[in-house]
Structure 1
Amino acid sequence: MSEFTPGPWLRDEYGNVVAGSGDRVAFRSVTTVCSGTDERISEAEANTTLIASAPDLLEALEMIVAEADSYTAMTGKPVYNWLDQARAAIAKARGTPC
């Protein structure tokens, strides 16, 4: 899998997700907008907002895991039962095996 477009990502006025460089990352579905109800349009806008936040969420999760790993290394006690789930989410986002 290739690397994803570096963040930050933003949702533009048309509902597309664009990188800070101006490159488009994801397109809002035209069919949702043209044939959808207000609820479907609102859902599509919420989806693009979530997608736009992906690089920030990934970076924050990686920092949290690094801090938890550091604490575990210091104390010798793995106290966080959610670390495996966090690592799996990071691997999924990066397209790498856990």
Structure 2
Amino acid sequence: MSIDVETAARVAKLARIKVEPDALPALAQEFTNILGFIEQLNGVDVEGIEPMTSVTPQKLKRRVDAVTDGDQQPKVLANAPDAREGFFAVPKVVE
């Protein structure tokens, strides 16, 4: 797949990246190279290969999904400049 200069300019605009007009051909070529590499990766047979979380085989540490230090509302609200009825109070910003 080949990316033309107009497409490269559009991608740069969408990404809000300022690219000078004389740099657009090089950017288009770089996009083409990246897409070529992706097409090359799509051709790799990965049937039967397990997904990896790391380059070294290791088990991730697990923990129990339980609340261990809840019921801290008074301590948390003690730091608030304005707290009402158990919640942070903020000034109204929308009329």
Q: TM-score, normalised by structure 1?
A: 0.29
> Which structure carries more helix by proportion?
1
Task: Considering Cα pairs closer than 8 Å and 6+ residues apart, tell me whether 1 or 2 has the greater RCO.
Answer: 1
Report the structure number with the largest CA radius of gyration. Answer: 2
Q: TM-score, normalised by structure 2?
A: 0.30
